[in-house]
Amino acid sequence: MARNYLRTVTDLERYYYGAGNAMGYSYSGSELLKADSPMMSTTAGTYQAIYGRKVWSQLNQEFNAFSILPKKPWDRSGWRIITGRASFTTGGGVAENATLPDTTKPTFLHVAAKPKTVAHTFDMSEVAIFLADKDDGMGDIRQVLKEEMGKHHAEHVNRMLLQDMDTVAGNDFESLDRITSDAGSSMGGTYGAATDHDLYSITRDASSAFHSAEVSVSGTKGTNRTLSLDHLDAIFQQIWTRGGNPKVLMTGYDTLMRIQQLLQTQQRFMEEKRVTPTFNGVKGVPGIEAGFVVATYNGVPLIPSKDVTADGISRIYALDTDYTWFSTAIPTQYFESGIETGDPFGINRLGQEGLYRTMGEVWCSFFGGQGSIRDLS
């Protein structure tokens, strides 16, 4: 031991106990420091996140197409239409003391349609239901699934209504794309087979015009043209000429933005106010009225939907909802069966099953009042 090394009690403690004193204090210099072991949030077995019972949906589940269609009760499974005028060839002017002209009459046609049923189901096990309100479960899992599947059911109907006309409806509801189509020369047979246009009991071929909607196309499917206001003006003029009056324009969000860009160049900065179009309780995208209306066109609300069929950009459907509606045979209903309702034998397992069901069909009693603009970019 070096001379004069032990001068204080602290020196003695350091000599016998090593670096640091009996109280655990460390010293600087060449002395060894103590090793720390802190409790961290990442320490195994000490922390686990609690996710809570709220479930936040990350999906856009709007169903605007289904919402804007008027809903009427299904009171019959068919209707009569007039497909041709009474003959003009017999004239109408009568000479003095002449015999009366020959009689004439319009052409009538029966149209038949059957209701279709759309159903979506979901189920849960008894164990899942029991654990849902224990620990970090979602709480009432039945209510969570019931709410989300209700949205899913409506969204799925919305997709049916906006399905491309090339996809035959089958057991699904008919599509607005098919209703606003034309099997005649304007679509040139380039939009699928001739039977793709058939609706209800009507064979829609090029030989008749009564069942054709007003359609603006490029002439060849897949050849797109740049959207212009002339396309919108033309479809309005055609529908007005046929006797229709569009009540709503449905398109995708991309085409809606394109229309607003076209209208922006014509803006006149007068008294400015914001407007939000609504139709049948459905709100569109807010626009600005400044000498003209951006959120509407020709006074007709622009309602967007994410499910509209797109070529380059989404198609535009001009709908006269006086003649196009959803005929409701049985409104959307919810059913549930299983262990929680005292009937496990009904589903043949220890669990619970839910069902949403809607029965009806989209009806159109006047095709000439409908129109579409396709092949856009």
Task: Provide DSSP, 90-150.
Answer: T-S---TTPPPPPP---EEEEEE---EEEEEEEEEEHHHHHHHTSTT--S-HHHHHHHHHH
Provide the 3-class DSSP secondary structure of residue 329.
strand
Amino acid code (one letter) for 258: R
Q: Which of 373, 333, 319 is nearest to 70 (CA)?
A: 319
* 8 Å CB contact between 216 and 316: no
pLDDT at site 317: 94
Q: Which of 99, 62, 116, 85 is nearest to 306 (CA)?
A: 62
Within a domain: 27: no
Within a domain: 38: no
Residue 148: which residues within 8 A CB-CB, separation 6 or more?
55, 57
pLDDT at site 279: 61
Within a domain: 340: yes
pLDDT under 70 in the chain at which residues? Answer: 1-6, 9, 12, 16-35, 48-61, 89-91, 136-137, 184-194, 206-208, 265-294
Within a domain: 33: no
Q: Is 317 left (phi over 0), alpha (psi -120 to 50) or beta?
A: beta
pLDDT at site 21: 47
Task: End-to-end CA distance of the chain: give it in Å, rounded.
Answer: 93
- For 117-160, what is each residue's pLDDT tens digit? 999 998 888 888 888 777 766 777 788 888 888 888 888 899 99
Within a domain: 57: no
pLDDT at site 290: 42
- How many domains are there within the chain? 1
* 8 Å CB contact between 361 and 173: yes
Within a domain: 14: no
* 8 Å CB contact between 66 and 280: no
pLDDT at site 136: 66
Within a domain: 151: yes
pLDDT at site 192: 65
The one-character DSSP state at 8 is: S
Cα atoms in the Cβ-side hemisphere of radius 13 Å centred on 81:
18
Q: Which of 312, 280, 313, 275 is nearest to 297 (CA)?
A: 275
* 8 Å CB contact between 356 and 120: yes
β-pairing verdict for 248-251 and 300-304: parallel
Q: Determine how many CB atoms are found less than 10 A away from the CB of residue 135.
A: 7
Handedness of CA 226, 227, 229, 230 (dihedral sign): positive
Alpha-carbon distance of 137 to 129, in angstroms, equals: 9
The strand pairing partners of 301, in sequence order, are 296
Within a domain: 18: no
Quote the domain boundaries for residue 258. 64-84+104-373
* 8 Å CB contact between 116 and 360: yes
pLDDT at site 105: 85
